Structure 1
């Protein structure tokens, strides 16, 4: 059991993360795979990842233990700087982590080379991390960030109406809050954690299976308590085939994704389209209006709800040919008759 001790200053400094943390999501998702922990909400994600999986990505499992996360796996949103960022993270925290991992179990040759500072292994680690990010995290990032933002909005309202005591008491079914101590079922290697005026960052995470504490070793840094996003909310939607690169160049990434989403799962309301794209409803409405003005979609209003439909012209543009779009339209007509 881990007991986190708060002072009045810690309570004042405790906050809820407003957005998802890509590095944590990457490490947590790898931890689920490395430890073979079942998670029914991740069935689609596992299946889709299997189609993009590169066998050498399994080398990253060498860095995981049942109760530890390699926090030095530092990634960047666009993926291009992930290799360099991971190497920098290895310099800051990797040595201590790998030595600790070596006390838990025998290190693999790859992990031993990293611990010894081997340059080629460091380069390989960066490449592996970037590859895994592009396959497992980046395609889902809009959805991940949207789910974490929804949790942030919920907790912010809870904080404003009922106070931090209510937030801490309801953070996780296994958490116990009795001011000024938050008790959590965690690794026995750490039993007492005085925050000592640093406060605590509460970080919702889509790939978290349980509670995780991070960043507590450094007295100058604010510790992070990672907790799972609520299980009752949808986790990851199926990632439909992305729009053709030429269409993205023509329309822009978000509008091309909107057109693809409407073709695959439409018609959709503005709020449903926003959720699918991981953007705000107002932004989704703006993009949908531009598509409608171009004749690629239509809008229908019923009461306060606006529903968006792809047009035949939109199908032509998306499919790349009149023939393919006509076939798609014919299938839709047959479906409506049935």
Structure 2
């Protein structure tokens, strides 16, 4: 268990990142590939990346372990700028990271040369990072930005209506907030971290692993960053589909039509995750989910202490617009419930 002790000064300085950190997204996406982590929501991204993949990009895996993610890989809008910035970023902190990685496992020749400050290896690292950015990050940059911006809007509303305690308590199912301690899973032995009055930057990330991670904790003068996954319920990164069809929206209402589309893309989802995806309070999302379930378009299922929602066959048919009888049946059952 990793525990972060947040004083009143830390809480006053804690903020929510308004934009994506593309350098973190690049490193985290590489970690996903290097550790062969399976992420259903990113399956299409992985498939599309395979069509642009350059075999030598696998050399970047040399910088990762199951628990170690390098923070010196730097993304810039222009690939050439990325190559130069990454080559320059491998300073003392980067070599310290590689030294620590060498204590976890044996370094490859490439990583060993980087740790030794070899100039040719540094330039190669810059080129590899730029090539990977072009294949894996740049084509999805706008969608990554959009998903992080949506999460920022949701958390900003939550902060204004319920306060920072509620934000911290709902960041992730595995995170526990017991003022003044934020408990995160991950460490094998109990570890307590002290931001020393710097607060936290809460950074949503599309490629974050299943649990939050802390970055920049030991960087002098920098604000520690708590990177957490964008909650389930967002559209897949590679989903280019338009919104619900006008006829479906007219039949169900905008919110319930959107809920069907979200469940089709990312379900099953808990009520909380569905609320996050829709930008609604959980009680309001639960009301809409109940109406859809009464109409036979969705079904509820209990998994442990959580109720999850998923599409039924009728819901799938109606969403695809394939059978007129399905729409008429749903219309009759929904006649009593107006859109809220």
TM over 0.5: yes
Residue matched to 1:167: 167
Following superposition, the deviation at residue 92 of structure 1 comes to 4.3
Residue matched to 2:226: 225
Q: Return the alpha-carbon distance in structure 2 between the equivalents of residues 190 and 91 of structure 1.
A: 30
Q: Return the alpha-carbon distance in structure 1 between the equivalents of residues 98 and 190 of structure 2.
A: 18
Q: Return the alpha-carbon distance in structure 1 between the equivalents of residues 181 and 87 of structure 2.
A: 36
Following superposition, the deviation at residue 189 of structure 1 comes to 6.8
Classify the secondary structure of the residue corresponding to 1:232: coil
1:199 aligns with 2:199: yes
Residue matched to 1:34: 34
Q: Return the alpha-carbon distance in structure 1 between the equivalents of residues 233 and 99 of structure 2.
A: 39
**Unmatched runs of 5 consecutive residues or more in structure 1:** 240-263, 272-338
Following superposition, the deviation at residue 77 of structure 1 comes to 2.1
Following superposition, the deviation at residue 266 of structure 1 comes to 9.8
Q: Return the alpha-carbon distance in structure 1 between the equivalents of residues 58 and 66 of structure 2.
A: 16
> Do 1:144 and 1:236's aligned partners in 2 also have CA atoms closer than 8 Å?
yes
Within 5 Å, which residues of 2 pair with 1:13-92?
Answer: 13-92=13-92
Q: Deviations over 1:112-168 (max 9, x none)?
A: 010111111111000000000000000000000000000000000000000000000
Residue matched to 2:238: 237
Following superposition, the deviation at residue 85 of structure 1 comes to 1.0
Following superposition, the deviation at residue 218 of structure 1 comes to 2.3
1:145 aligns with 2:150: no
Following superposition, the deviation at residue 237 of structure 1 comes to 2.3
Residue matched to 1:274: none
Q: CA RMSD in A?
A: 1.9
Aligned length: 246
Residue matched to 1:256: none
Residue matched to 1:325: none
Q: Return the alpha-carbon distance in structure 2 between the equivalents of residues 266 and 51 of structure 1.
A: 27
> Do 1:87 and 1:126's aligned partners in 2 also have CA atoms closer than 8 Å?
yes
Q: Return the alpha-carbon distance in structure 1 between the equivalents of residues 118 and 245 of structure 2.
A: 52
Classify the secondary structure of the residue corresponding to 1:81: helix
**Unmatched runs of 5 consecutive residues or more in structure 2:** 247-253, 255-340
Residue matched to 1:177: 177
Following superposition, the deviation at residue 268 of structure 1 comes to 8.4
The verdict on how the C-alpha distance between 1:265 and 1:219 changes in structure 2, with shifts beyond 3 A counting, is closer
Residue matched to 1:214: 215
Following superposition, the deviation at residue 96 of structure 1 comes to 0.5
The verdict on how the C-alpha distance between 1:190 and 1:20 changes in structure 2, with shifts beyond 3 A counting, is farther
> Do 1:201 and 1:224's aligned partners in 2 also have CA atoms closer than 8 Å?
yes
1:158 aligns with 2:158: yes
Classify the secondary structure of the residue corresponding to 2:66: coil
The verdict on how the C-alpha distance between 1:138 and 1:110 changes in structure 2, with shifts beyond 3 A counting, is same
Following superposition, the deviation at residue 111 of structure 1 comes to 0.3
Q: Return the alpha-carbon distance in structure 2 between the equivalents of residues 266 and 33 of structure 1.
A: 30
